[in-house]
Amino acid sequence: MFHPFWGTGILVSVILVVGGAGYIGSHMLSLLRDQEYPHMVFDNLEKGHRGALQGSKLITGDLRSAEDLEQVFRDHPEIDAVMHFAAYTYVGESVTEPAKYWENNTTGVLTILDTMRKFGIKNFVFSSTCATFGNPQYLPLDENHPQNPINPYGQTKLAVERILADYDVAYGLKSVILRYFNAAGADPEGRIGEDHRPEAHLIPLAIYAAQGKTPPLKVFGNDYDTPDGTCVRDYIHVLDLASAHLLAIDHLRAGGDSRAYNLGNGQGFSVKEVIDVVSEVTGQPVPFVLADRRPGDPPRLVGTSEKIRNDWGWSPAYADLRTIVGHAWNWHRTHPDGYMD
C-alpha cells in the first residue's frame, strides 16, 4: 500500500476524487477510507449523493469551471493525483443531447488536465468504457481491439483517451485509463450502493421489478445468437473496479508510465440468467415483458482483463453473479428509498 507521507512525513499526499459522490466514485471512496489513503472529493452533486460520501471530505464545484478547480488546487497543494468519475453515462441521452456529453465528458476533462498542468500535478486515473470499442469484431475484447465507438458517449471517452496520450508526450502528464464493462453490485456491508435517477442498469431494474416498485422489466430481444436468445454482457463488481484504481494510483505515484487496461469479469451472463439469479436472491419472481431489440445492441459483449492481471496481479474478487446480485440486493433491501438527500 502507498504510504501517505513523503520524506519525513511532513507533507501528506492526497488524491482528489472528481465525481466521488456517484455510484462508482463512492465505492472508490469506501476503499480509500478502508485502506487509509488521504483523499478528498470534488463533486457538484448533480448526479451524486451526499449520503454516499460516508465521511469523506466534499468540496463542491464543477469540473467545467477552471476557477472552481484552481481554487481547490490552490487551497490544497498536497493533492498529487486525480481520479475521474464525473462523466455522463446514458448512451441514449448522448445520442439526443450530444452537446451535453461533449461539454462534460471531454471539455470538462480538458479543464481538469489543464488545471493540473498549471499546478504541476502529473498523475491522472481516467474512467473509460468498453463503449470505445463499438461493435465487437472478436471476443473477448482485449486492449488491441480496434476502437470505433458507435455513439457519442463512447466517442467522448475515446477523445479523452487520445488527449491523454498527447498530454503524456507533450507535458509528461501520466495517466492510467481503465475501460469498464458493466459495473454492478454494491458494498458487501450495505453501507453504500447504486442509486441512479433514472436507473438504467439491468440488475437494479430487475430488483425493482421483483419488489413491485416498477412495471415489469423490459427484455429487449430474445432471438439473439446466444444460448437462451437474450444478450450476454460482462458484469464487473464495483469494488473490483475500485481496487484496480488503487493499483493505478500506486503505479503512477511510483513513477510508472501511462497505461490502458480493460476491466471485465472475463465471463458473460445473459439477461435471462440475471433475471433468474435476481429471482433466486430476492425470493421473488422478476416480472418481465419482451420488447423489440434495441438498435446497436450486440449479441455478446465480454472482455478479457489478462493484461492487468499479468502486469499488476489484479483479478476480480467478486466474479460470481450470485455474489454481485446479493450485494446489490442487500443495499436495495435495506435502503428502499435509496439515499435520502
Tell me whether residue 195 is in a domain: no
* CA distance between the termini of the chain: 34
Which of 23, 88, 153, 180 is labelled catalytic? 153
Asked whether residue 30 is domain-assigned, the answer is: yes
CB 264 within 8 A of CB 181: yes
pLDDT one-digit tens code per residue, 225-246:
999 999 999 999 999 999 999 9
pLDDT, the chain, mean: 94
* Number of domains composing the chain: 1
Query: Which positions of the chain have pLDDT values less than 50?
Result: 1-10
For residues 240 and 316, what is the distance between their CA atoms, to the nearest angstrom? 5
* Structural domain harbouring 151: 12-185+235-263
Would you state the pLDDT for residue 287? 97
**Residue 75 CA, distance from chain mean position:** 28
Is 196 domain-assigned?
no
Q: Give the three cell numbers for residue 276.
A: 433468474
Structural domain includes residue 90: yes
Question: Would you say residue 154 lies in a domain?
Answer: yes
Say which residues have a Cβ less than 8 Å from residue 119's Cβ, sequence separation at least 6. 70, 73, 74, 77, 79
Residue 176 in domain: yes
Q: What's residue 11's pLDDT?
A: 61
pLDDT of residue 3: 35
Q: Is 153 a catalytic residue?
A: yes
| pTM across the whole model | 0.94
- Residue-wise pLDDT tens digits, 79-102: 999 999 999 999 989 999 999 999
Say what the pLDDT of residue 339 is: 79
Residue 115 lies in a domain: yes
